[in-house]
Structure 1
Amino acid sequence: MNWLKIIAGAALLQVVLLAPAQAGENLDAIKSAGVLKIGTEGTYAPFTFHDPDGKLVGFDVEIGEAVAEKLGVKAEFLEGKWDGLIAGLDATRYDVVVNQVGITDQRKQKYDFSEPYIASKAVLIVRADDDGIKGFADLKGKKSAQSLTSSFGKLAEASGAELVGTDGFDQAIQLVLTGRADATINDSLSFLDFKKHKPDAPVKIAAEQADADYSGIIFRKGDADLKAAIDKALVDIKADGTYQKIADKYFGQDVSK
């Protein structure tokens, strides 16, 4: 029994002695390589997509580049499908994922997140001349264009709306514009992006949910130094105006809160 205690004690001491050496390991490796490897989709406008010339662009792309610059390294983007994107962290394919990844309790059990850098809300969108729908409760008996399995669709249904199935935001907006639907509940960021490109489109936000969903930069657990460095980088790009410039470019306003 005494030998077991000695062995256990020695193992515990080894863990304690090794811990400081492991702290900051990922951050040290990133700085040593001079590169922050970033996982992203490349197919999710306006966050991460390819322009007509094939260049990877988008809100998240520019945020990733700005964060990397504050860390003193270059950003290198590695694209992948959403279904396996976060799992790529486990395979150490990249250091972080920047792809409007929602911060959830389930994900936080396995991964670490930066502080939130983007917020989105469910908004109720109607035609600009429609004054009859002022809130979610006014959807009762109305037609709402929705992706049927989405959380937005469930909210519309719970509000008493008749659902008109769509393949996504663009189709939902068209159904509202053409009068085939009275409204759509959708993502506030998608609406801002749409209005950025089509400011004269006769649609408006009639109401929005009070609670926002937040997204952050996601990375492997266990490196407090890396989290601190990324969080500081995000604070710095907000302080020096970089964040506002990027947000204005893609959404026309600050989208961090």
Structure 2
Amino acid sequence: MNKLMTMIAAAASLAVASVSSAANAGAVLDRVLATKTLTVAAGVDWAPMSFLNDKHELDGYDVEVAKGIAKYLGVQAKFVTPGWDIITAGKWEGRWDMALGQMVPTKARAEKFDFPAIYFYTRAIALVHKNSKATKLSDLDGKVVGVTANTVDETYANHTLIPNWVNAKPIQFQFTPGQVKTYQSNGIAYDDLRLGDGVRLDAVLMEEQELPNLIKAGYPFKQLGDPLFSSPSAIPVLHGDKEFSDKIAAAIKDMRDDGTLSKLSIKWYGVDYTLEK
């Protein structure tokens, strides 16, 4: 009798788990469609990905991509601006539905996130002050190098980067910093570097596509050497809603197929970074 009751209880437990799983499936997509709002996490000083324009509104490549996804879903895009460290921690608690910021889809991050679509390819470079005497990447040996925390740039600087994304090529570490200084955003690192060569930093690791806008804005910087490596950038969402992931993938495919994605890249960067090269 006890064995029979145990079996019944186990079956009931499985039934409840099955119902619970079914109830969770599609929950994010259902909320987005019900509220007619796609809530997106982005940064305010990640130009030209996302930044506050002269009207104090979020603008940039990532912002327009998010609006394109929202349009495909038939909803409006709403933006929130948590720190990158909060986004990458994965404890979103329903505060936003997806994030941008050109996140590299590493295996470690795949434990927290689904990556339904790659929408950009990033080339990392070393940035130095225009008065820097460095002429090659190896000149950064023993120097103070700034990076944004929780990025592949940080792992590259610390020689812990394992290129475990799709079609990854071997990484060659071309210098060994004496100190790796982390920042919550690239903007703060740029402000430290602009103080002068070696004042607080000797270099910053960054994405190549950001450099033209920095130069245009008057930052006294220059690129040192060739790109360090290239990596794909994907849209992260939390696990558990395949329907939502599929919709995002379909939206990006639609934007890629009709040329929108390439046009947005050229608009904001002057180069089509939506194709791997």
TM-score, L = length of structure 1? 0.75
Displacement of 1:88 in angstroms is 7.9
Displacement of 1:124 in angstroms is 4.2
Letter in 2 for 1:52: D
Which of 229, 240, 243 is the matching residue for 2:261?
A: 243
The 3-state SS of whatever aligns with 1:115 is strand
- Offset from partner CA, 1:204-249 (integer Å, 9 cap, x none): 563123442x332222211111111101111111111211122112
Runs (5+) with no aligned partner, structure 1: none
- Offset from partner CA, 1:99-146 (integer Å, 9 cap, x none): 333433333222322322223233245799x9x946x446569xx673
Aligned in 2, Cα 1:250/1:92: closer, same or farther, shift over 3 Å?
A: same
Indicate whether 1:147 and 2:146 are aligned. yes
| Alignment check: 8 A CA contact 1:25 1:223 kept | yes
Letter in 1 for 2:26: G
Letter in 2 for 1:9: A
Matched pairs, number: 249
Indicate whether 1:189 and 2:205 are aligned. no
The 3-state SS of whatever aligns with 2:6 is helix
% same residue: 25
Displacement of 1:74 in angstroms is 1.0
Distance 1:80 1:117 in 2: 21
Displacement of 1:194 in angstroms is 3.1
The 3-state SS of whatever aligns with 1:90 is coil
Q: Which residue is 1:97 aligned to?
A: 99
Q: Which residue is 2:10 aligned to?
A: 8
Distance 1:91 1:202 in 2: 39
Letter in 1 for 2:102: Q
| Alignment check: 8 A CA contact 2:90 2:112 kept | no
Q: Which residue is 1:229 aligned to?
A: 247
Distance 1:84 1:185 in 2: 22
Q: Which residue is 1:159 aligned to?
A: 175
Distance 1:175 1:29 in 2: 49
Runs (5+) with no aligned partner, structure 2: 160-172
Distance 1:162 1:90 in 2: 35
Distance 1:54 1:211 in 2: 32
Q: How does 1:13-92 map to 2 (within 5 A)?
A: 13-17=15-19, 19-85=21-87, 90-92=92-94
- Offset from partner CA, 1:3-22 (integer Å, 9 cap, x none): 11121122213433554454
Aligned in 2, Cα 1:161/1:38: closer, same or farther, shift over 3 Å?
A: closer
